[in-house]
Structures are given as structure tokens and as C-alpha cells.
Amino acid sequence: MRRPLVKSFGLWLAFAAGCATLPPHQAALRDDAKGLDDLSSDKPCEALSEFHDALAVEPGAWAPLRHEVLATRRCGGLDRLLESARSRVAHRPEEPLGHYLLGLCLLAGPGGEREGLAELQKARALAPNDPELALRLGIALLESEKWSEAVEPLERAVALAPADPHPRFPLSLALHRTGHDHEALASLAAAVPLLPTDKDLEAGRKLVRLLHDPERGIPLPARPRFEEGMSWLDRHEAGQRAVEVFEALQSDYPQLAPLQAALGLAYQQLGDAAQAVAHFERAAELDPSLPEPHLYLGELYLGLRRHREAAQELRAAIAGDPFLEEARAKLEELAVDAGDVQTAIAQSQALVGLLGGKPMARLLLTRALALAGDLEGAEAQLHAILESDPKNLQAKIDLAAIDVKRSMNAASPEDRHRLTDRARKLLGEVLADQPENAAANQLLATLAKK
């Protein structure tokens, strides 16, 4: 069961993992992106032409070079590319790029694993501070199921490119395979606010599901009855039947955390909050790493307006699963209400990453940064919103509000006029679209008093 996950991780990373160093020219980026589109559309020969165009602009760019190998393997001609790489290494043995290309070609063909890994190690030795070379070696070692050996280069790739989320995902897998699940979750959590791609997030969620697979803790003889109880639970109006099945099962298996969590859900469906809390707490006690019991407790405490306990349980749930969007949104809201701006900032930053930079998440982050007094950070988020959504009225209102606030403490009359003029312009754009917008009219009235 584990082997397909590793291969899917490796194939995804071969396509998706970005290079944090040697950023190619915009034209090369465009051609490389076109090539990836063609490759995903099963047009490898067209893709190969695009990658060649990208390399013509930036001959030393890692990503198009890597993609060239993938396309060549599918289009044909890998042997010729392999010989070209061997010739390059023979003539310029001190150049890391040649060893990198040769290693990728060997790994793409049959029987080349050992020599390919050796070439990637040589490339890394020649450029030890290049994150792409460390990353690629780590991924190749993962593909070869050399879990322990993969950890060091992947950790180094993260250290060399801390703002790049990509290396943290294969690192998490390597850490899991070497028995360091807590560190694997920490690596995933650190990647979330860095705006990972959708494929990053998909891979991360797969790993979390592997870490917390509830069936892994259910003995085989108990599974049919457990699934029967879950089927009753899914019917929403059959909570009592679910309780009967789970209670009977509990007499034989009193120490199963997933069973206790399921019992809690069944009692919650029946409206018995006290029993639900008791079983959720028991599940969390039996397996503190499981996110679900903490999540259920957090939601239940929210309904009971026990906000402090809710926040505590939501934190525990997020520690077990960094991809819980709803839990992060609820914790962010609780933090704002409690005046805990640092928690609000951390959770809204994570939501920006989980939601791909969507305006809704950036507006939450803007609010948290403004509460912390970081107007520059808030302004940067608002500009990011308007870059992707130029007609976003809330972003314009919030930007105008920042300008109004700054104008009150402006160092000179010129600065004050510049800020108020910009605020009026933004508010004018909002009111042209929504003349009755209360927030915009209120800010405009504040400006009129100056």
C-alpha cells in the first residue's frame, strides 16, 4: 500500500517542485509553462519543443532541463540525450549541470538507479549550496526507497530555500518513513503559509490521511460492525442504532480511539452533549495525535460558548492535521475576539496558503495585521488582492481606511494630502459601484471633516 504513495509523490514533485534558485527569464518561464501544459495533455513532443525554447533563453535553468528529460523519455530520444549528457560531463567534469542532467537521464531509463544517484551526488558536491540539487537528490533517494538517506538532502533543501514550500513535502514523507511522524507534521505545517500549489496540498493531505488512517487502529474482526455503525451514523436520523452498534462493539474493544470518537458523534447526533464530550475526551486520551476527537470537541464547545476550551481543542486538531481549513477559520475568529493577534495572524496566514491566496483569506490576514499595528503588511495583502481581483470593493475600502489612519499621523502636509487624495480616489471607485456602501460613506465623511 505504501509504494504507490511514494511513486505518486515522486512523479508529482518531478513536475511541480519549483526551483528557488537561478530564476529563468520570463520568456523561459512562459515556454516552460506551455511545455508542462502540453505534457499534462499527453503531447510530449510538443512539450519537448517548448522546453528547448526555454533552455535556449536560459541554458542553465534547472526546471526546463528537468522537464526536458521527462518529455524526452515519453517522446523518444532518451538515449541521445543520455549520450549528450555523458559527453558534457567528460568535457566539463567540474560543471554541476552536466552531472545533474546525466543523473536525471539515468534515473529516467531502465537500470540506471545506482549510477544516476551517484551523478546527482556529484552535482550536489560541486554546488553544495544550491537547493535544487539537494532537493532533486532527496527526491531520487525517496523514489529508490532510501528513506534515511533522503532526509539530510531534503532538510538541506529546506534550509537553503526556506520560503519555498515544495521541499517540505518530500521531507515530510521521508520523516514519516523513518518513524518521525511528529516532525513530518511539523514540516507540513510550516509549508502551509508559504502558498503551496494545489498539488502540494493534495500530496500533504494524502500523507496526513496515511498518518491518521482510522482503520489502521480497528482490528479486522471489528471492522464489519464498525462500518455498520458508521453507515447508521451517516443516515443522520439513525443515531440510536449507531449507538447500539458502537456500544456493543465497545464492550469487546474498550481501548479503540476511533470507536470512542464515533460513539461521541452518535451521541451528539442524539443531542446528548454530555455523553458526546465524554467519548470525545476518551478518544483524545487514547490517541492524542488523532485530530478528529479534538476537532469534534472544539466544535461542540463552540456551540456551548465555551470558547477557551474550544480554542484549545482546535489547536490540538490543527497540530494533528495542518490542512483543517474550517478549524483554522474558527480559531482565527476566536483569537480576534480574544485580542490574541499573533494567533489570528498565524491562522489567517495558514488560510491564505490553504486557499491559494483567495481574497477572503487575505482579508482575514489584513484584519489581523492591522490589529497588530502592521499597516505595511496589511497594505501588501490588499495590493495582492487587487492584483488578482481589481474590482474587489472590500480591499479598496480597507486600503482607504489605512490611508486615512496614516494621514492622521502624516509627517508633512504633502504626505497628508497624498494619502487623503488616494483614499478619496479609492472610495470614489467603491461608491461609483455601490453608492449606498455604508463603510465607504463613513470614511468619506471622516475625510470631509479634515
Distance from chain centroid for Cα 69: 27
Task: Provide the strand spans (E) within 256-376.
Answer: none
pLDDT at 238: 79
- CA distance linking residue 137 with residue 236, whole number of Å: 50
Q: Indicate the pLDDT class of residue 2, thresholds 50, 70 and 90.
A: very low
Bin 179: left if φ > 0, else alpha if -120 < ψ < 50, else beta: left
Using the 8-state DSSP alphabet, how is residue 93 labeled? T
Residue 286, all three cell numbers:
487514547
pTM beyond 0.75: yes
SS3 sequence of 180-221: CHHHHHHHHHHHHHHCCCHHHHHHHHHHHHHHCCHHHHCCHH
The answer for residues whose C-beta is within 8 angstroms of residue 142's C-beta and 6 or more apart is 6, 9, 10, 150, 154, 170, 173, 174
Q: What is the pLDDT of residues 271-297, one digit of tens each?
A: 999 999 999 999 999 999 999 999 999
| DSSP one-letter string for 380-420 | HHHHHHHHH-TT-HHHHHHHHHHHHHHHHT-SSHHHHHHHH
Residue 54, all three cell numbers:
526555454
239-243 average pLDDT score: 93
Residue 105, all three cell numbers:
537521464
Bin 287: left if φ > 0, else alpha if -120 < ψ < 50, else beta: beta
Q: Indicate the pLDDT class of residue 25, thresholds 50, 70 and 90.
A: low
Among the residue ranges 3-12, 43-52, 91-100, 219-228, the one predicted with the least confidence is 3-12
In the predicted structure, residue 13 carries a pLDDT above the cut 70: no
